[in-house]
Structure 1
Amino acid sequence: MAIFDTFGISGSGLMVHRKWLDAVSDNISNINTVTRTNENAFQERFIVAQSVDYGSGNGGVRVARAEFGDAEGRMVYQPDHPLADADGYVKYPDIDLSDQMTQLMMAQRGYQANLAVVERATSAYQAALQLGKG
């Protein structure tokens, strides 16, 4: 493991957790997006992470792909809504707010942990440079 691999590994973790945070915030912001019953509902987005060179000590992690939730959504009876069909139904995304808040907390904690590693490694490397000056 090279001396600066810590930055690469933690940096890749920061990127994955940022993308995860972006996906969760997009899901939360669209939780009340209404569509017509003959259209697809907003699809919840999931980020799938994958390790890079697992076990080698110099890989990190990357976003493998994004997956999407069900486009069927859930039907809600709202006859006064301008997008309601003849029977008075509209379609909402099938997104659970409590699940999204849990995902948000996990992504935030992961981001904070990776950022702490970068900050501590920076401090350690700066301290090592100061030893050479003395």
Structure 2
Amino acid sequence: MITQGIFGAIDISATGLSAQRRRINAVASNIANVDTTQTEEGGAYKRKRVVMRAKKADRPFRITLDAEANKLARTDRAHFPQMESRVSEMAGAGVETNEFSEEPAAPRLVYDPSHPDADENGYVALPDINIVTEMVDMIAASRAYEANVTVIGAAKDIVMRALDI
């Protein structure tokens, strides 16, 4: 997906909003299951994390820029000196979050012989989830979400100003 042109920032930030929403959902699931001792797969709940990958555009940034950007007229060779270096990286297209991963951490063993899921030695296997870490992840995801909303607002303002011209 090439996200160039006037709505490029909005398209890219929309993928960021979706990614951070999934991240917050994973944190909520982890917090909700902090004491879950049995899952459908058997054993204690395992902490979930969102796997995020940068989306790549289909063509190099320079080709996209040459094809899509407004071209400036060069009437004098001194006005716009030719840049020797060429940009060869791919144009960014946002972020992908198509999968969750489960942390392979061993469960935390807590001695509670009265618990129905306690083993023969009285230990209960609880998820290895740290509430403080989850809260920090939630705050970071929330701030990233807010930053993407701000970018969309700024891009919207630019579009509105362009329409006023």
TM bin (shorter chain): 0.7 to 0.9
Determine the structure 1 residue equivalent to 2:73.
none
Matched ranges for 1:91-130 at <5 A:
91-130=125-164
Determine the structure 2 residue equivalent to 1:25.
28
**Structure 1 stretches lacking a partner, 5+ long:** none
In structure 2, how many angstroms separate the alpha carbons of the residues matched to 1:58 and 1:46?
23
Whether 1:80 and 2:114 are equivalent positions in the alignment is yes
Greater helix share, structure number:
1
Determine the structure 2 residue equivalent to 1:6.
9
Higher CA-based Rg = 2
How many aligned residue pairs are there?
A: 129
Work out which structure has the larger RCO, using CA pairs closer than 8 Å and 6 or more positions apart in sequence. 2
In structure 1, how many angstroms separate the alpha carbons of the residues matched to 2:5 and 2:158?
15
Q: TM-score, normalised by structure 1?
A: 0.85
Whichever residue aligns with residue 31 of structure 1, its letter is V
Range with bigger deviation, 102-111 or 49-58: 49-58
Whether 1:61 and 2:95 are equivalent positions in the alignment is yes
Whichever residue aligns with residue 53 of structure 1, its letter is K
Q: TM-score, normalised by structure 2?
A: 0.70
**Structure 2 stretches lacking a partner, 5+ long:** 58-88
Deviation (angstroms), 1:64: 4.9
Secondary structure of the 2:161 match is helix
In structure 2, how many angstroms separate the alpha carbons of the residues matched to 1:2 and 1:29?
42
Instruction: Map Cα deviations across residues 3-36 of structure 1 (whole Å, 9 max, x no partner).
Output: 1111110001111111111111111111122339
Summarize the Cα distance change of 1:45–1:26 in structure 2 as closer, same or farther, 3 Å threshold.
Answer: same
Secondary structure of the 2:93 match is coil
Range with bigger deviation, 76-85 or 122-131: 122-131
Secondary structure of the 1:53 match is strand
Instruction: Map Cα deviations across residues 111-131 of structure 1 (whole Å, 9 max, x no partner).
Output: 110011111211221232233
Identity of matched residues, %: 33
